[in-house]
């Protein structure tokens, strides 16, 4: 693995997907190999093609290259502070499967929908 893991060449960008929980954007194969860097604990994407399909979305908008999640206001606003540096999306369409959401709730995790449905509410 190179030292620029988050770089995706233009030719590969068609395979990009965004995690519906944290909105991190990676290629499908990387999700499969490494899982979600932020949420794999409970999403268990690594190695599960099915989970990748259901918990990540290829419909997303607005890429964010996050260099310093701690200092960046963008990260804070997007509620990405605390996540790893990398590429994120401003909006991820799609809905997390119900059982995943239930699991998250059970674990006291807050699911922030990334599809724009909740930003205005709070």
Partner 1 sequence: MVESARLLDDREHRELDRKREMEQSYDAEKLAETMRQRYGNRRIAKQFGDSVIVPKRLLMPSVEDPSIWGVRCKEGKEREVVFSIMKRIEERRGTKDQLGITAAFERGGLESAMKGYVYVEAYRSNDVMLALDGMLNVYPRSKMVLVEIKEMPSLLHITKTETLHPGAYVRIRRPAKHAGDLAQVLDVTENGLEARVRFVPRIDYTVAEKQADGKRKRPGTYRPPQRLFNEAEARKRGSRQITGNPQTNVWQYNGEEFENGFQVKEIKIQNLQIKDVTPGLDEVTLFVTEGEDGTENLDLKALAASLRSSKSNVTYMSGDVIEVYEGEQKGVVGKAVNVQGDIVTLRVIEGELRGQTIDVPNKGLRKRFKTGDHVKVIGGSRYRDEVGMVVKIVEDRVTFLTDQTNTEVTVFSKDLREADDIGGQGSLGQYSLLDLVQLDATTVGCIVKVDHESFVVLDQNGDVRQVMPSQITNVIPKRKTAVATDRNGSEVRLDDVVREVGGQHRQGKIIHIYRSYVYLRSNSSNENAGVFVTRTSNVATVAAKGGRINAAAGPDLNAMNPSLMRNPKANGSMPPPKVFGRDKTIGQTVTIRKGGYKGLLGIVKDATDTHCRVELHTKSKIVNVPKTDLTFKDKVTGRVIDINSRGGFGGGRGGGSAGFGGRSGHGGSGGSGWDGSRTPSLPGGLAGSRTPAWGPPKSSGAYTPAWNRNPDTSGSRTPAWNSGSRTVNPYDGNRTAYGGATSYGGSTAYGGTGGSRDPAWSMGSKTPAPDSHGVGSRTPAPGNYGGSDAWGSGSKTPAYGASAPTPGASDAWGYNAGISGTSDAYGAPTPGAGLSAPTPAALNAPTPGSYPTAPTPAAISAPTPGGGWAGGWGGADSAPTPAAGAPTPGATGGYYGAPTPAAYGAPETPAAGPRYDDDD
Q: Give the residues lining the site for partner 1 (CB under 8 A).
A: 3-10, 13, 37-39, 41, 54, 57-59, 61-68, 71-79, 81-87, 90-91, 93-95, 97, 105, 108-113, 115-122
Specify burial of residue 101 (Cβ count, 10 A radius: 0-12, 13-18, 19+): middle
Indicate the helix (H) or strand (E) that contains 100.
Answer: helix 98-106
Q: Residue 32: which of 47, 53, 13, 50 has the closest Cα?
A: 47
* Cβ atoms of 45 and 31 closer than 8 Å: yes
Q: How far is the CB of 40 from partner 1 (least distance, A)?
A: 10
32 versus 81: smaller Cβ distance to partner 1: 81
Min separation Cβ 65 and partner 1, Å: 4
CB of 30 to partner 1, least distance (A): 13
For partner 1, the closer of residues 32 and 79 by Cβ is 79
Cβ closer to partner 1: 32 or 72? 72
- Report in angstroms how near the CB of residue 98 gets to partner 1 at its nearest: 9
27 Cβ partners below 8 Å, 6+ apart? Answer: 8, 12, 15, 16, 17
Q: What is the dihedral of CA 5, 63, 84, 45, to 10 degrees?
A: -80
């Amino acid at each position: 693995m190179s030292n620029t893991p988050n770089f995706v060449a233009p030719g590969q960008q068609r395979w990009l997907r965004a995690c519906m929980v944290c909105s991190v954007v990676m290629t499908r194969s990387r999700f499969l190999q490494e899982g979600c860097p932020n949420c794999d604990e409970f999403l268990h994407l690594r190695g599960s093609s099915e989970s990748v399909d259901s918990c990540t979305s290829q419909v997303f908008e607005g890429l964010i290259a996050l260099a310093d999640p701690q200092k960046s206001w963008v990260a804070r606003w997007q509620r990405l502070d605390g996540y790893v540096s990398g590429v994120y999306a401003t909006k991820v369409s799609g809905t997390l499967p119900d059982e995943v959401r239930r699991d998250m709730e059970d674990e006291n995790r807050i699911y922030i929908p990334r599809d724009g449905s909740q930003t205005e509410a709070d």
